[in-house]
Amino acid sequence: MGKEPGNHREDVVGRANVEDTPELLAYYDELDNYHAGALWTVANKIEPWEPKSQSIPVVWRYADLREHVLRSVDLVTAEKAGRRVIYLNNPGRSDVSAAVGWLYAGLQVMNPGEDAAAHRHSASAIRFIMEGEGAFTVVDGHKMTLGENDFVLTPNGTWHEHGVEPTGTPCIWQDGLDIPFVNAMEAGFFEVHPDLTQAVGYAVDDTTKTWGNPGLTPANGKWSEAYSPMYKYEWLPTYEALLKYAACTDGSPYDGVLMEYVNPTSNGPVMQTMGASMQLLRASEHTKAHRHTGSYLYHVAKGEGHSIINGKRYDWREKDIFCVPSWAWHEHVNASDTDDACLFCLSDLPVMRAFNFYREQAFSDNNGYQPVSA
Ligand code: GTQ
């Protein structure tokens, strides 16, 4: 648990507390002419006592979005769109296309027989498969078949292309990328593959078959990249792992039974800028409230329930996506008293941890649960 917040008053010594006078206002105008400014006019804003996210909690309901996503198929071709995606736009963020914090997300749709040109970029990406049969993605020559609730990586700098086999059905998946972060760092490059498509150089699904075996690693398996060599994490083994772990742990009072997807060569996050987890809420489980730094995009993989975020209730069900902004109080509730619920979560935790920005605090009042306002 982090430090208790300090004395959050702006009139304490050490905080800027200068009243405007005509003389000072004229002085600020003068400085402005030289592209300069007085720190005390902005200090309390640029160094808040604690994180103040511009992002607001949002639930993107699949029941609302699905038909609009499918409509894009009739309106634009995959080829013309480049990637045919409806992105999730946090209403608190007018400056960038972000779902929450510095994370971008969108719903990509492809019809059987379609594919998108191979490309690569500085942004890292994940896919979380929502519906359809026959979707595939190719990452640096490794072809993967994609099933519902599978989680797939396309780490930064890797060539990737997606498509749906002619024998398949319309497919929808969530894309999650660190585009806003990469752009904030002014580090974004984008390239289209010279051949528009990649040669497949390995057995289909080889990265999962090679690296995804519990407790076993290939003898002489060499890997030197900072991201995971396993590009696809399938749903069934993930769910089974959660059930096994749930059978022998009480889990966390704040997170239920939570497991992180890891790079099997390091046990660290799957990529340097974004990490992911799957958490299981047991029947009727109601986690206690806490808050922590980092931006979190939840995707309901199974079940239904609600989350209370900064004192407001947000209902969710399978395939809905919702966000928890940095430092927002949150607790989750599984609505079912007979079945578990599972929440996939994409986050920027690897960045928070790498730069020592991670901080966490438990909600101490009211027995650990937030009072809920309408
Ligand atoms: O397929 O890499 O939704 O570059 C947005 C940007 C998907 C992708 C998106 C992208 C991609």
Nearest CA to ligand 1 atom 7: 175
Nearest CA to ligand 1 atom 4: 121
Report the range of poorest mean pLDDT among 72-86, 144-158, 159-173, 303-317.
Answer: 72-86
For residue 324, the enclosing domain spans 59-213+230-368
Determine contact, residues 77/116, Cβ cutoff 8 Å: no
Average pLDDT over residues 236-255: 98
Give me the half-sphere count of Cα atoms (radius 13 Å) on the Cβ side of residue 322.
25
**What atom of ligand 1 comes closest to residue 119's alpha carbon?**
2
Residue 8 CA to ligand 1 centre (angstroms): 41
Average pLDDT over residues 316-321: 98
What is the pLDDT confidence band of residue 1, given thresholds at 50, 70 and 90?
Answer: very low
pLDDT at 3: 44
What is the pLDDT confidence band of residue 12, given thresholds at 50, 70 and 90?
Answer: confident
Residue 318 CA to ligand 1 centre (angstroms): 23
Q: Considering the chain, what is the average pLDDT of its residues?
A: 96
User: Cα–Cα distances in Å, from 103 out to 90, 153, 325?
Assistant: 10, 15, 10
Residue 327 CA to ligand 1 centre (angstroms): 27
Q: 27 in a domain, yes or no? A: no
**What atom of ligand 1 comes closest to residue 121's alpha carbon?**
4
User: What is the tens place of the pLDDT at every residue in 254-283?
Assistant: 999 999 999 999 999 999 999 999 999 999
User: What is the tens place of the pLDDT at every residue in 25-43?
Assistant: 999 999 999 999 999 999 9
**What atom of ligand 1 comes closest to residue 154's alpha carbon?**
2
Residue 83 CA to ligand 1 centre (angstroms): 6
> 179: domain CATH number?
2.60.120.10
What is the pLDDT confidence band of residue 6, given thresholds at 50, 70 and 90?
Answer: low
User: What is the tens place of the pLDDT at every residue in 79-114?
Assistant: 899 899 999 999 999 889 999 999 999 999 999 999
**What atom of ligand 1 comes closest to residue 162's alpha carbon?**
1
Determine contact, residues 58/91, Cβ cutoff 8 Å: yes
In the chain, % of residues over pLDDT 90: 93
Q: 1 in a domain, yes or no? A: no
Q: 182 in a domain, yes or no? A: yes
Q: How far is residue 296's CA from residue 105's CA, in Å, rounded to a whole number? A: 11
Both structure tokens of 287: 């986690």
Which element (helix H / strand E) includes 110? strand 104-110
Determine contact, residues 288/253, Cβ cutoff 8 Å: yes
Average pLDDT over residues 63-74: 97
Both structure tokens of 240: 């089974």
Q: What is the DSSP string of 285-304?
A: -BPPPEEESS-EEEEEEE-E
pLDDT at 181: 98
**What atom of ligand 1 comes closest to residue 108's alpha carbon?**
3
pLDDT at 7: 73
Across-strand partners of 56?
none
Nearest CA to ligand 1 atom 9: 175
Q: 132 in a domain, yes or no? A: yes
Q: Is the pLDDT of residue 4 over 70?
A: no
Q: 120 in a domain, yes or no? A: yes
pLDDT at 68: 98
User: Which of 130, 160, 175 to mutate for ligand 1's pocket (most ligand atoms within 8 Å of CB)?
Assistant: 175
Both structure tokens of 222: 């060499």
pLDDT at 16: 93
Q: Which residues line ligand 1 at a C-beta cut-off of 6 Å?
A: 83, 85, 106, 108, 121, 125, 175, 177
**What atom of ligand 1 comes closest to residue 87's alpha carbon?**
3
Residue 353 CA to ligand 1 centre (angstroms): 25
Average pLDDT over residues 147-151: 98
Average pLDDT over residues 39-61: 97
How many structural domains does the chain have?
1
Average pLDDT over residues 309-334: 98
Residue 175 CA to ligand 1 centre (angstroms): 6
User: What is the tens place of the pLDDT at every residue in 190-210?
Assistant: 999 999 999 999 999 999 999
Nearest CA to ligand 1 atom 1: 83
User: Which of 65, 72, 89, 108 to mutate for ligand 1's pocket (most ligand atoms within 8 Å of CB)?
Assistant: 108
Residue 239 CA to ligand 1 centre (angstroms): 27
Residue 286 CA to ligand 1 centre (angstroms): 35
Q: 129 in a domain, yes or no? A: yes
Q: 255 in a domain, yes or no? A: yes
Q: Is the pLDDT of residue 235 over 90?
A: yes
Residue 163 CA to ligand 1 centre (angstroms): 13
Residue with token string 């769910």: 239
Q: 329 in a domain, yes or no? A: yes
Q: Is the pLDDT of residue 167 over 60?
A: yes
Q: Is the pLDDT of residue 2 over 50?
A: no
